[in-house]
Structure 1
Amino acid sequence: MHKIGFPTSLNNPIFRRLYLAQTISLLGDALTWLGLALLAFELAGKSAPIVLAGALTLRVTAFTLLSPLAGAIADRYDRKPILMVTHLGRMLLVCLLPFVNSIWQIYALVLGLNIFNAFFAPTYQATIPLVTSKADYPQAIALSATTYQILGVFGPGIAGVLALVVGARELFFWDGLSFTIAAILIGTLPGNLRSDLTESAQKSIGSIGTDIRAGTSRLWHDAPIRYGLMMQLVASIAGAQILVNTVGYVRGTLHQTAVEYGWVMMGFGLGATVGAMVIGMFPKLRSKIVTIGAGGLLITLSLLGANFVGLVPLIGLWAIAGCGQSLISLTLQTLIADRTPTEFQGRVYGAHFAWSHLWWAGAYPLAGWLGTTVPDRTFLYGSFVGLSLLAIVQLWLSPDRFVHTHPELWHTHAHSHDPYHQHEHPADVGSKNRSIAHQHPHAHSHLSHIHAYTDISHQHHPIDTSHP
């Protein structure tokens, strides 16, 4: 059983600096998104849910389109300059947000910010196992993902107080400062943060498309990861309702200030913290699957009565929702790390980042539409949609079928080339004479052969037998 030993992973000085950079930039992100919510309410009034939904949809569209490419690039090149450029680019853009005076400017800057973010997030996730030991990386991933959950929604509590002191628009300058500090910290990292690929593979830009397909294939062919990914679809419905419509409910219906809005979102962060603590207690595969299912149930049920309560009960409900969100996302991240070889993690994390955010690309417009069409029942109807999807996923991907799933097995076998079948390999592999057939070792995997209760046969699911 894994221990919840976050201080152990922080003993690693490289990871400690990487983690500190992430923490500072995430705190700045919290300032940005609270500032955007207040800015949307200032410019659009009752139409703020539509503005926020549009901005957030642009965010996840950038993630969906660019994250697989980012993951493939992260597997080929030094990740340090990628991380630095993405921070500095976001710093420049957030410093323009205080001068926004129209809706289209919000959309343009949000799109630019999240083009950079789409390259940062999967690169960062894939770097964690690279700079930590095999024993420590589950704890490092847990700590990093927990911080993401907490500061992504707990930070607005701090931002709400800061907004009263410096003003809503000035929050963006603080965010720019956070990105600058994070970039400086990343600059102190070693200059060789790359996976162990051969030189020819690193330089083969033409095969990036193949890597993108391979990352997606590995993601969907692994049954436990596929179940978790579909549960993220369930969670996105509820999560989008919270992120898009809470500001309108707290400011418009309950007639509270930005500080109270920050408190409500802080409840979400507190729940995410509790969920992260729970995850470390259940390291086995079956427990992880059940944990993901429980998270989906918690986050969807928490919305049922949210339209009919005051400020304090709403904070409690959002704490339950935050716990559910954390149970799903953090458990799935550890599943990917456990079940994916290190040299493929950039591609798989990139594919996961894209697919998980594709769900939000549909959930945000739905939340915006409900927020303006039925503002007094938006959370209730969002919960109904989420519960319906939850039932479908449970029936389609029953957790019990994964009880006897084994991790993938990597091995090599003889790989023959005849004179009519040639493709490139590193210089030290095989013969250079293209006219002579030859053999060399070639690695591939048989992923997750599954023993279902109702089927005692072994089901082999090969992922990608092409050359990485």
Structure 2
Amino acid sequence: MLKIGFPISLKNPIFRQLYLAQTVSLFGDALTWLGLALLAFELAGKSAPVVLAGALTLRVTAFTLLSPVAGVLADKCDRQPILMFTHLGRMVLVCLLPFVQSIWQIYTLVLGLNILNAFFAPTYQATIPLVTGETDYRQAIALSGTTYQILGVFGPGLAGVLALLIGARELFFWDGVSFLIAAILIGTLPGNLRSDVTAAPQRRVGSIGSDILAGTARLWADAPIRYGLMLQLVASIAGAQILVNTVGYVQGTLHRTAVEYGWVMMGFGLGATLGTMAIGIFPQYRSKIITLLAGGIAINAALLGANYVGLAPLILLWAIAGCGQSLINLSLQTLIADRTPTNMQGRVYGAHFAWSHLWWAGAYPLAGWLGTTFPDRTFWYGSCIGLAVLAIVHLCLAPDRFSHTHPEFSHAHAHEGDRQHHHEHATDVETEDRSLHQHPHVHPQVSHSHSYTDISHQH
């Protein structure tokens, strides 16, 4: 069973400083996105769901198009400059948000912010296993995820109070300071943050396309990861409803203030924190599949009656939804780390970041349309759509339901191409002796059904 040994992870000085940088920037980031919701409501009134949906669609579009490129660069380059300069760039852009006077300016700055974030996020995710090693990376991922959720709890509540005291626009300056501090922390990390593959001579830029395809192929070829990725589609349908339409429901339908809106989103963050902590109780492979399914059910079921409740029940429902989203996201993140070689994790995390945000690119416009077309039933319709997609995904893709071939494994042997054992070398196999090497290999004829109670197959 996985033990959440957070102090063990923090004994690593590089991870400790990297984690501190993440914590500082996330603290300000929580203020920024709540401030953006309030700014959209200030400028657009009842049309705020459309504005938020548009801004968030730009966000995920940038992630979808650029994250695979970021993943390739993370495998090829020193990650420290990437992490540092993306923080400095975002510092400049968020400090411009207080001066926004029109909707198009929101869209422009949000697009710029998330172009930079598209390079930061997958690079950071791939760096955690790199700096912690095989023994501690699960603990480090859990700690990083828990911190993200805890700040999601306190950030919106604090932002609501600050917005009441100093105004929504001033919140953006807090985030600018946080990005500056985080950039300094990352810039002063000892050594560099290169994966093993970057120690080799750099390949030409033209190989970026093939590297992106390699990361995507590995992501979709693994049945458990593929199932988790599709469960993220389910979570995005419900999650977009929460992020886009909650501010309109709380301030428009319930006639509450920004403080109460902060409380509701605090409930979502609290539930997400509890879900993140629960991941440590379910370390085995089969439990992760069950956890993914439970998360998909929880986040969509929580929305069923949300249009018909007051403030306190809404906070409880959003806590359940937040728990469900964390069960899906963190389970999939640890599955990728478990089942992907270190020298490919940048490409796979980049591909995962792109595909998971592609789901949100469709979910945000759907949420905006439901919020303006059916303002009294938007959460109900969103939940019904999400549950229908969940049923289809589970019936078609649940790994325990079907036969499978063993995942590829690496072995070394001498050979000559003959009729009994013939295969071609992949383009990324680097070896001086073409007759003796280590490479991935799959036995296509080994196919049978059994329960995934152990992810380690011995050959």
Query: Could you state the TM-score of these two structures normalised by the residue count of structure 1?
Result: 0.90
Match of residue 329 from structure 1 = 329
Report matched runs for 1:339-418 at 5 Å. Answer: 339-401=339-401, 408-414=408-414
Counterpart amino acid of residue 36 in structure 1:
L
Deviations 1:82-130 (A, max 9, x none): 0000000000000000000000000000000000000000000000011
**In the alignment, is the contact (CA less than 8 A) between 2:149 and 2:270 conserved in 1?**
no
Please report how far the alpha carbon of residue 399 of structure 1 lies from its aligned counterpart in structure 2 after TM superposition: 4.2
Task: Pick which of 244-253 and 200-209 moved more.
Answer: 200-209
2:259 corresponds in structure 1 to: 259
In structure 2, the residue matched to 1:443 is 439
Q: Report the residue type matching 1:305 in the other structure.
A: G
Task: Give, in angstroms, the shift of residue 7 of structure 1.
Answer: 1.9
The answer to whether the 8 A contact 2:75-2:198 is kept is: no
**CA–CA distance in structure 2, aligned partners of residues 197 and 115 of structure 1:** 25
Name the Cα RMSD after superposition.
Answer: 2.5
SS in 1 for 2:276: helix
CA spacing shift, 1:354–1:202, aligned 2, 3 Å? same
Distance 1:139 1:450 in 2: 34
Structure 2 contact 150–270 (Cα < 8 Å) conserved: yes
Give 2:432's aligned residue: 429
Between 1:308-317 and 1:150-159, the stretch displaced more is: 150-159
- 2:282·2:288 contact (CA, 8 Å) conserved in 1? yes
C-alpha distance in 1 between matches for 2:393 and 2:248 = 31
Percent identical residues? 77
Structure 1 alignment gaps of length 5 or more: 431-437, 455-459, 461-468
CA contact (8 A) 1:270 1:322 kept: yes
Q: 1:116 to 1:162 in 2, by over 3 A?
A: same
Offset of residue 445 of structure 1: 4.3
Task: Write the deviation string for residues 140-197 of structure 1: whole angstroms up to 9, x where unpaired.
Answer: 0111122223434652112111212221000000010000010011112123211011
- Give secondary structure in 1 for the equivalent of 2:217: helix
User: Aligned AA for 1:51?
Assistant: V
Distance 2:118 2:340 in 1: 21
- Corresponding residue for 1:124? 124
C-alpha separation between the residues in 1 aligned to 2:109 and 2:447? 46
- Which residue is 1:296 aligned to? 296
Q: 3-state SS of the aligned residue for 1:40?
A: helix
Quote the Cα distance in structure 2 between the aligned partners of 1:105 and 1:33: 15
Change (3 A) 1:143 1:406: farther
Distance in 1 (CA, whole Å) between partners of 2:59 and 2:415 is 44
CA contact (8 A) 2:17 2:189 kept: yes
CA distance in 2, matches of 1:236, 1:35: 22
Aligned to 2:143: 143
Partner Cα separation in structure 1 for residue 271 and residue 155 of structure 2: 13
2:24 matches 1:21: no
**Residue of structure 2 equivalent to 1:463:** none
Distance apart, 1:30 and its partner CA: 1.0
C-alpha distance in structure 2 between counterparts of 1:269 and 1:425, whole Å: 42
Matched, 1:47 2:47: yes
The Cα of 1:413 is off from its aligned counterpart by 4.3
Q: Gapped runs of 5+ residues in structure 2?
A: 418-423, 452-456
Contact 1:306 1:380 (C-alpha < 8 Å) held by counterparts: yes
Comparing 391-400 with 347-356, which one deviates more in the overlay? 391-400
* Residue 412 of structure 1, CA deviation: 3.2
Q: Take 1:424 and 1:47, find their aligned partners in 2: how far apart are those partners?
A: 51
Residue 429 of structure 1 aligns to which amino acid in structure 2? E
Closer/same/farther in 2, CA of residues 427 and 68 from structure 1, 3 Å limit: closer
Seen in structure 2, the aligned counterparts of structure 1 residues 272 and 416 have a Cα distance that, compared at 3 Å, is same
Residues 194 and 295 (structure 1), Cα distance of their counterparts in 2 relative to 1, 3 Å cut = same
Q: Give yes or no for contact 2:142–2:277 (8 Å, CA) kept in 1.
A: no
Residue pair 2:80, 2:193 contacting (<8 A) in 1 also: yes
Query: The residue matched to 1:269 in structure 2 has which SS?
Result: helix
* Residue in 1 that maps onto 2:38: 38
Return the alpha-carbon distance in structure 1 between the equivalents of residues 266 and 392 of structure 2.
31
User: 1:202 is paired with a residue of what secondary structure?
Assistant: coil
Q: Contact 1:200/1:426 (CA < 8 Å) preserved in 2?
A: no
Tell me the CA shift for residue 261 of structure 1: 0.4
- One-letter code of the match for 1:3? K
Distance 1:447 1:314 in 2: 51
How far has the Cα of 1:38 moved from its partner?
0.5
Structure 1 residues 72 and 415, CA, compared in 2 at 3 Å: closer, same or farther?
Answer: farther
2:449 pairs with one of 452, 457, 461: 452
Q: Which range moved further: 6-15 or 358-367?
A: 6-15
Q: Matched residue of 1:280: which SS?
A: helix
Aligned to 1:249: 249
What displacement does 1:450 show?
A: 6.3
Partners of 1:83 and 1:378 lie apart in 2 by 38
Is the CA contact (8 Å cut-off) linking 2:76 and 2:198 kept in structure 1? Answer: no
Partner residue in 2 for 1:97: 97
1:453 deviates by 4.2
Q: 1:156 to 1:373 in 2, by over 3 A?
A: same
Contact 1:409 1:447 in 2 (8 A): no
Shift of 1:451: 3.9
DSSP-derived class of the 1:441 partner? strand
Partner amino acid, structure 2, of 1:345? Q
Residue 236 of structure 1: aligned partner = 236
CA distance 1:274–1:38, shift in 2 (3 Å): same
1:410 partner SS: strand
Contact 2:35 2:169 in 1 (8 A): yes
> Shift in Å at residue 414 of structure 1?
4.6
Letter of the 1:339 counterpart: R
| Partner-residue secondary structure (3-state), 1:169 | coil
Alpha carbons 1:30, 1:155 under 8 Å: kept: yes
Checking the alignment, whether the CA contact within 8 Å between 2:87 and 2:182 is kept in structure 1 is: yes
Report the counterpart of residue 421 of structure 2 in structure 1. none
State the distance in 2 between where 1:37 and 1:426 align: 48
Name the CA shift for 1:202/1:165 in 2 (closer, same or farther; >3 Å): farther
Cα drift, residue 447 of structure 1: 9.3
Task: Classify the secondary structure of the residue corresponding to 2:411.
Answer: strand
How far apart, in 2, do the equivalents of 1:439 and 1:405 lie?
26
* 37 and 207 in structure 1: CA distance in 2 versus 1, 3 angstrom threshold: same
